[in-house]
Chains A and B, each alone.
Chain A
Amino acid sequence: MGKLKKKTGAYYLVNTVLTAILFTVLFLLISGRTLNNYWSGVVVLICINVILAVSLNLVTGILGQLVLGHAGFMLVGAYAAANFTRAVVTNGTMSLYVALPIAMVIGGLVAAVFGVVIGIPALRLRGDYLAIITLGFGEIIRVMANASFLQPVTNGAMGLSVKTFSNRTDPGAMFVFAFVVMALVIVISYTFGRSRHGRSVIAIREDEIAAEAMGVNTTYYKLFAFVLAAFIAGVAGALYAHHIGMIDPSKFDFNRSVEILIMVVLGGMGSISGSVISATVLTILPELLRGFSDYRMLLYSIILICVMLFRPSGLLGRYEISLPKLVDKLLHRKEKAAKTGEA
């Protein structure tokens, strides 16, 4: 037992150190302008997409329910947050550095409210109703955002300009926020999945009737996983809005929802590290293939079909890549080698 705890402690340490190194390297590259504006922006986008994929994985991977309107929650979070910062930063109540974290929470909460409202009817039913209802929600919310009576909040298709950090004086700010949130989201969805709460959600995925019979409040946990995912998508929406500086409803359309879903499916449903890897690759790849941007959705479709044909469980399946374990293995191999060498 003590040994296990020590090992867990060591794993935490290794993970923290590796994350800190990654953070520092990227931060220096971005704030020192070694990476140009364009690629710094891509790094921030990667963080945001990882957040989105990991959050969707909570529902699609861990709970096992398809969601086709994740971008809808992003949209709601983005507009809520943008309006907040527009108000408080413009009148000088607070700086964006203080306002953005608050705006992210607001964006998350508003998205969570929508999650509850949609989730309660959709999740009471067995089967894939969630997919259809979230699909409808995503489309409705996007059309609504264009509606004239919401113009004061959304500015419709013209787009709403959002407060951003000055790229000239502080190019690293947005990265810091995005990276910290990403790290936090990865950690909590990992720990959530390995707790009594996550275990309940996984049990529902495996067998809803048996889970209910074993004392799991299935309605509550389905809703919880879904609303948590909605909350995180709202936060991601807030980050996204303040990163690109100009939002309009078309940025949160069905294609966006599908993109996020593909990241989860490709990475392996239920695998957080899979989501991280595929979100990273699928953000960089289109940038490298800029010239083929018209064919991006086509490329996605082809990749998806190939995965479905040859590896239906996704890149990693439900497997998690653990860096500390990898390090552990390498060290042990060395130890072993050393021992055999002695003998």
Chain B
Amino acid sequence: MALLETKDLGIVFGGLKALDDVYLKIEEKEIIGLIGPNGAGKTTVFNLLTGVYTPTKGAIRFMGKSIIGKKPYQINRIGIARTFQNIRLFKAMTVLDNVKVAMQQHRRYNVVSAMFRLPPYWKEERKMTEEARELLKIFDMEDVAEQQASNLPYGQQRKLEILRALAARPKLLLLDEPAAGMNPTETHELMETIRRIREMFGVAILLIEHDMSLVMGVCERIYVLDYGTLIADGTPEEIRSNEKVIKAYLGG
């Protein structure tokens, strides 16, 4: 059983077929690329997988169960976490609290414990702080834990977004153009980070990216979207030499 499988997935926005007949299959711990020209529908795929939009047709199965109709927060709790193309951090919150928001779905205590600071509050908050700091350490960000998220430099904000998604302990991580706006060194670092994440957290990763060196370097398989339909899928080598892909995207 694949971790995630979509069949015949499609969505129409006001008569415009933004996506049509999308078949994806992701196994556990795979790193998969999703590429295509601007406006091809890549982000829309993420929005369908995470429940932001409801597909007009097709099926999405995650760990064997349909997730269509579930709300984004429910899908997050089942095990799909994402980042956004345009960074969406909780700007006025500290780095630590950003991480905790995603983490606290696993660290529950009721509102009475919260208001009167009963033992469950102390226990869960302490554990959360420890875990969050641990996570920050992995990304070399422990020294900015108390800083406001909006004060971080751009590269660290991107990292924090990935880290926050990981804090939800997903089985599938969706990264929407994580290297956007990064210089080559940062991009290279990111490639290493993505590999490390898979090893350390055992997550599968679906990666939208325009930087071909990153995609080809890190992905095991790649899907190519053009005008809302899949035009190719295969290993990086296959994609590189695929006529259709070269015409639609790489050569363009």
Contacts and interface: CB of A to CB of B under 8 A. Distances in A.
B244 to A, nearest CB: 33
A195 B107 CA distance: 11
Nearest to A188: B115
B54 to A, nearest CB: 14
B81 A214 contact: yes
Contact of A192 (B71, B100, B115): B115
A77 B71 CA distance: 35
B89 A210 contact: yes
B42 interface: no
Interface in A79-111: none
Interface in A198-239: 198-200, 202-203, 206-207, 209-218, 224
Given A188-B115, A195-B114, A196-B100, A212 B89 contact: no
Contacts of B104: 196, 199-200
A251 interface: no
B240 interface: no
Interface stretch (B30-38, B91-99, B198-206): B91-99
A11 to B, nearest CB: 12
Interface string B188-229: 000000000000000000000000000000000000000000
Contacts of A217: 71, 73
Contact of A318 (B92, B105, B115): B92
B73 A215 contact: yes
B116 interface: yes
Contacts of A214: 73, 76, 81, 101-102, 105, 164-165, 168
B90 A211 contact: yes
Contacts of A125: none
A29 B17 CA distance: 74
Contacts of A197: 111, 114
A285 interface: no
Among B50, B104, B105, B128, find the residue whose CB has the most chain A CB atoms closer than 10 A: B104
Interface in B121-137: 121, 124-126, 128
B114 A198 contact: yes
A191 B101 contact: no
A1 B126 contact: yes
Given A192-B111, A196-B114, A200-B104, A213 B92 contact: no
Interface string B21-43: 00000000000000000000000
B52 interface: yes
B77 interface: yes
Contacts of B88: 207, 209-210, 213
B84 interface: yes
Contacts, number: 97
A318 B97 CA distance: 15
A210 B105 CA distance: 14
B184 to A, nearest CB: 28
Contact of A207 (B89, B97, B109, B115): B89
A195 B101 contact: no
A305 B77 CA distance: 45
Nearest to A184: B115
Contact of B101 (A1, A199, A318): A199
A211 B91 CA distance: 12
Contacts of B76: 212-215
B90 A207 contact: yes
Contacts of A209: 52, 72, 84, 88
B46 to A, nearest CB: 10
A103 to B, nearest CB: 22
Contacts of A187: 115
Contacts of A188: 115-116
B122 to A, nearest CB: 8
B161 to A, nearest CB: 9
A279 B77 CA distance: 41
B165 to A, nearest CB: 8
B158 interface: no
A212 B90 contact: no
Nearest to B71: A212
Given A1-B126, A212-B72, A216-B101, A192 B114 contact: yes
Q: Across the A-B interface, give the 9 residue pairs with the lowest CB-CB distance, nearest first.
A: A195-B114, A206-B90, A210-B88, A215-B76, A215-B105, A196-B104, A188-B115, A214-B102, A212-B72
Interface of B: 50, 52, 71-73, 76-77, 81-82, 84, 88-93, 97, 100-102, 104-105, 107-109, 111, 114-117, 121, 124-126, 128, 164-165, 168
Given A197-B114, A200-B101, 4 more contacts: A192-B111, A196-B125, A210-B90, A213-B50
28 contacts: A187-B115, A188-B116, A191-B114, A191-B115, A191-B116, A191-B117, A195-B111, A195-B115, A195-B121, A196-B109, A196-B124, A197-B111, A199-B97, A199-B104, A200-B101, A202-B92, A206-B93, A207-B91, A209-B88, A212-B71, A212-B73, A214-B73, A214-B81, A214-B105, A214-B164, A215-B76, A215-B168, A216-B73
